[in-house]
Amino acid sequence: MTTTVAIAGATGYAGAEILRLLLGHPAYLAGELKIGALCGHSNAGQKVGELMPHLPQLADRTIVATTVENLSGHDVVFLALPHGHSARLGQALGEDTVVIDCAADFRLKDKSAWEEYYGGEYAGSWPYGVPEIPGHREQLKGTKRVAVAGCFPTAITLGALPAVAGGFIAPDLSVIAVTGVSGAGKKASVSLLGAETMGNLRAYNPGGNHRHTPEIVQNLSAFSSSNTPLKVTFTPILAPLSRGILATVTADLTPGTTPEAVRAAYLDYYRDEPFCLVLPEGQQPETHNVVGTNMVHIQAHVDTRAGKLIVTAAVDNLCKGTAGGAVQCMNLSLGLEETAGLPLAAVAP
């Protein structure tokens, strides 16, 4: 039996990355997965070869309009669209279709948080697409609906989760995360021009204003044993990189926490997770070591003088942070090997 896959937003960065991964997927190579409708908006009618020459296998395919009709009839539909555009399509597709949304439309469980950070009509929530969060893998197996996590929340959640769950830190996290420009999507913007970004670093949406803040809080609060609500102050920084996120999470240590206990907890937490690598002591995550992979590289360091825990985590925002996470969830939904088609090794140098 052949599984058919369609992509809405196929010519964007996330959509193109999904295609790159699917073209190397064992099911595709065996003829058991077929890439169907490739949908776009402004690019409808153009050839893939004109728009994405890095995908030669699809060069002769034509981008079609993003409509329910073009997406219907496929076994799996990836929605790689801007926030606020997925809900209508996702709700219109049949219950037998696996719909995997890479936007934020179905991530938040709290309606008030959606209204505060995104606005518009609240569409509800779907199973959340980070299998490494305890309990989520079971929810994703066989599901027909998936809300893929944001790129920042993927890195920050997986970096901080063992410390929060282990009670090693106070529920008050300070996060600074450096990101490449592809995280803003494939749209024309003066602030993303090469002349504006090269040789420059710029913080944006600080002070709890970034839309991924409630998602991070939602993820980590579920594992906090503190009687005090978990708080996150999050400052993203735009860097002259095409891909990559390096997140640094800092929090006060709880009394009695030792470096040995933290190290052991992190190693144990991710011992059986193929995409989470706790680096050897003294080695720090670097974005170039995860480019093109579905990996999260993590390090936890105890600053005994300051009484702080500093966690660093690196991901490729387009792979593990979006498209790789989406394909990982597709694998779980379809009963395939979870790691199928997902690279572990980065390109170096």
- pLDDT tens, residue by residue, 217-270: 999 999 998 889 999 999 999 999 999 999 999 999 999 999 999 999 999 999
pTM as predicted: 0.96
What pLDDT does residue 207 have?
A: 87
Q: What mean pLDDT is reported for the chain?
A: 96
The pLDDT score that the predictor gives to residue 227 is: 87
d(CA 97, CA 8): 14
Confidence of residue 109 (pLDDT cuts 50, 70, 90): very high
> What are the boundaries of each domain within the chain?
3-148+322-334, 152-315
Q: What per-residue confidence (pLDDT) applies to 196? A: 83
pLDDT at 184 over 90: no
Handedness of CA 153, 156, 162, 165 (dihedral sign): negative
Q: Which residues 6+ apart lie within 8 Å of 15 measured at CB?
A: 7, 8, 9, 78, 80, 323
pLDDT digits (tens, 9 = 90+) for 185-218: 777 788 788 888 889 999 999 988 999 999 999 9
Q: How many helices (H) and strands (E) does the chain have?
A: 12, 14
Bridge partners (DSSP) of residue 5 are 35, 76
* pLDDT for residue 183: 83
Output the pLDDT for position 279.
98
CATH code of the region 152-315 = 3.30.360.10
> What's the rounded Cα separation, in Å, for the pair 29 and 94?
27
- 180-188: average pLDDT: 80
Residue 182 — pLDDT band, cuts 50, 70, 90?
confident
Q: What is the pLDDT of residues 261-297, one digit of tens each?
A: 999 999 999 999 999 999 999 999 999 999 999 999 9
pLDDT value of residue 194: 82
The pLDDT of residue 349 is 86
Q: What is the pLDDT of residue 200?
A: 92
For residues 325-346, give the mean pLDDT: 98
Catalytic residues: 151
pLDDT (0 to 100) of residue 335: 98
* φ, ψ dihedrals at 128, nearest 5°: -90, 130
CATH architecture of the domain 3-148+322-334 equals 3-Layer(aba) Sandwich (3.40)
Query: Is a pLDDT exceeding 90 seen at residue 117?
Result: yes
Is the N-terminal amide bond of 349 cis, ω within 30° of 0? Answer: yes
Q: Work out the pLDDT band at 1, boundaries 50, 70, 90.
A: confident
- The pLDDT of 41-55, averaged and rounded, is 95
* pLDDT at res. 193: 83
Mean pLDDT score, 291-307? 97
CB 321 within 8 A of CB 297: no
